[in-house]
Amino acid sequence: MDQKEGVILLTTNLSPSSPEETRALIQADNGRVLAELSQNLKEPGPYYIGKGKLEELKALIQSLDPDLVLVNDDLKGFQLRNLERELDIQVMDRTHLILDIFASRARTKQAKLQVLLAQLTYGKSRLIGSYSLSKAGGGIGTRGPGEQKLELDRRKIDRQIHQIQSRLDEIKSQRQEQLKQRKKSQVPLVSFVGYTNAGKSTMMNALLGQESDKRVFVKDMVFATLDTSLRSVKLLDKRPVILADTVGFISDLPETLMEAFQSTLDELKNSSALVHVLDGQSESLQKDYMETLKILKNLDLMDIPRLTVFNKIDRPDMRPQVIQPRPDKLLFYSALNDPVEKLEEALVDLLGDQWVQGEIFFSFQDQGLLNQALKDYPQAQVSYNEKGSLLKGEFLREDMEKWTGGKQ
């Protein structure tokens, strides 16, 4: 839309994210906050908020004539319907807003299917019969399944969800095959992770240099990157690596999105190393850090070597207080102003101890393991004797330890 939609933002002490974060989300979805209302609640009621606050909200709507009301929390289906009937205006909750942003950002077939899956899963209990999908035209909250889905019953929606999941399974199988080929090439995968809009894409572009055909999309807004972008580059030690730009995290990322994007997030498990990028100027630095660690822990990624980078540090006096728990490998950096060699040196150091030269012995009873090792490391040299086979070459430390039982 050319014109931003006017939004009244409703927050409570039960809201999972700060008003500042939600205002950024609204702006990312081409909206503008006309006014904010807040209330302390012990527990949400039929209208989520109390009757007094509801009357105050009605008066504000009458005065400002907004396009919608945004509740900075997740609403149950009956709360959403009650509010819309009482206010006679579109009402959205936080998850609906994030789904809408994802729908506008998705570019690849996989991302579009994942977003649609999340929207339909969410819509089974909330969007059916709601004001937001009944109104005509575009704007915030109207992307995705749309009003044509209103007449679909739960069975038809379940059928469509099943079809989408089947198509995503096909894409997952294709990507797994690509991952197998990548492992055979012995090129390490370095994935950039962190809070949305922390500067992951800008940092990746710094490593890619001026090759315009390789540079990834950058924009100063939340969730600018949805589709995982892979790029090959050589670092200071001349060894090639593959860089992966990933979707940004946010506090309490909706469960429907986490489930829909699970296969994409699972690909992070194939990373040789993670670069956790933090916005060094963020007022919620500690919270952003802990939110990302929580997601990494839930995805079982905490054992992957990790470099934590305080980005957007343009002057020495801007260095923030170090976060807790303090990471093992820490770098203060400005992707826009610091020499890229500073980042490359840190990555070379991070990756340096993951590859080791060595020999692995396989008995004749372990020929299946030997065959797998030769598939994964085609450059390795094998020799045979009366006791078995000896494989010489450069291996990932984790594989070397697995095959030798930690004895090298």
Q: For 200-239, where are the E strands, in sequence order?
A: 229-234
pLDDT at 134: 44
* DSSP strand pairing (31-39 vs 5-12): parallel
pTM of the model: 0.74
pLDDT at 374: 84
The span from the CA of 277 to the CA of 194, in Å, is 5
Annotated binding-site residue? 323: no
**Same structural domain, 196 and 323:** yes
Annotated binding-site residue? 194: yes
**Count of other CB atoms within 10 angstroms of residue 201:** 23
CA dihedral over 211, 213, 216, 219, signed as positive or negative? positive
Domain closes at, from 122, 149, 176: 149
**Same structural domain, 205 and 256:** yes
Annotated binding-site residue? 334: yes
Annotated binding-site residue? 104: no
Annotated binding-site residue? 227: yes
Domain closes at, from 121, 149, 177: 149
**Same structural domain, 101 and 16:** yes
**What's the structural domain count of the chain?**
3
pLDDT at 12: 92
CATH of the domain at 246: 3.40.50.300
Annotated binding-site residue? 223: yes
- DSSP label at 310? E
Annotated binding-site residue? 246: yes
**Same structural domain, 343 and 372:** no
**Same structural domain, 191 and 324:** yes
**Same structural domain, 321 and 379:** no
Tell me, yes or no, whether 172 lies in a domain. no
Tell me, yes or no, whether 145 lies in a domain. yes
CA dihedral over 256, 260, 264, 270, signed as positive or negative? positive
- Cis, peptide link before residue 66, omega less than 30° from 0: no
The span from the CA of 80 to the CA of 58, in Å, is 15
Annotated binding-site residue? 247: yes
Tell me, yes or no, whether 157 lies in a domain. no
Tokens read off for 52: 């007094």
Tell me, yes or no, whether 35 lies in a domain. yes
Tell me, yes or no, whether 51 lies in a domain. yes
Annotated binding-site residue? 308: no
**Same structural domain, 325 and 368:** no
Annotated binding-site residue? 317: no
**Same structural domain, 140 and 80:** yes
| Amino acid of residue 199 | G
Tell me, yes or no, whether 141 lies in a domain. yes
Tell me, yes or no, whether 202 lies in a domain. yes
Q: Given the structure tokens 């006309």, which residue do they identify?
A: 34
Annotated binding-site residue? 25: no
Long-range contacts of the stretch 311-319 (C-beta < 8 A, 24+): 311/198, 311/199, 311/202, 311/203, 311/277, 311/278, 311/279, 311/280, 311/335, 312/199, 312/279, 312/280, 312/281, 312/336, 313/280, 318/280, 318/281, 319/280
**Same structural domain, 207 and 312:** yes
Tell me, yes or no, whether 170 lies in a domain. no
**Same structural domain, 312 and 363:** no
Annotated binding-site residue? 195: yes
Residue-by-residue pLDDT tens, the chain, 408 positions: 335 789 999 999 988 888 888 898 898 888 999 999 999 999 999 999 999 999 999 999 999 999 999 999 999 989 999 999 999 999 999 999 988 888 887 777 888 888 898 888 888 766 444 444 444 445 656 555 544 445 556 778 888 899 999 998 888 888 777 766 666 566 788 999 988 888 888 888 888 876 556 665 555 445 655 567 778 888 887 778 888 887 777 777 778 877 777 777 777 888 889 999 998 888 888 888 998 898 889 888 998 899 999 998 876 666 666 788 888 899 999 888 889 999 999 999 888 766 778 888 888 888 888 888 887 787 788 898 888 889 898 777 777 777 876 554
Annotated binding-site residue? 15: no
Q: Which domain holds residue 138?
A: 5-149
CATH of the domain at 137: 3.40.50.11060
Annotated binding-site residue? 248: yes
Annotated binding-site residue? 18: no
Annotated binding-site residue? 123: no
Question: Which alpha helices (H) appear in 261-339, and where do they start and end?
Answer: 262-266, 285-298
pLDDT at 84: 93
Backbone angles phi, psi at 183, to 5 degrees: -65, -35
**Same structural domain, 277 and 308:** yes
**Same structural domain, 348 and 206:** yes
Query: How many CA atoms are closer than 13 Å to the CA of 260, on its beta-carbon side?
Result: 27
Q: For 130-239, where are the E strands, in sequence order?
A: 189-194, 229-234
Annotated binding-site residue? 74: no
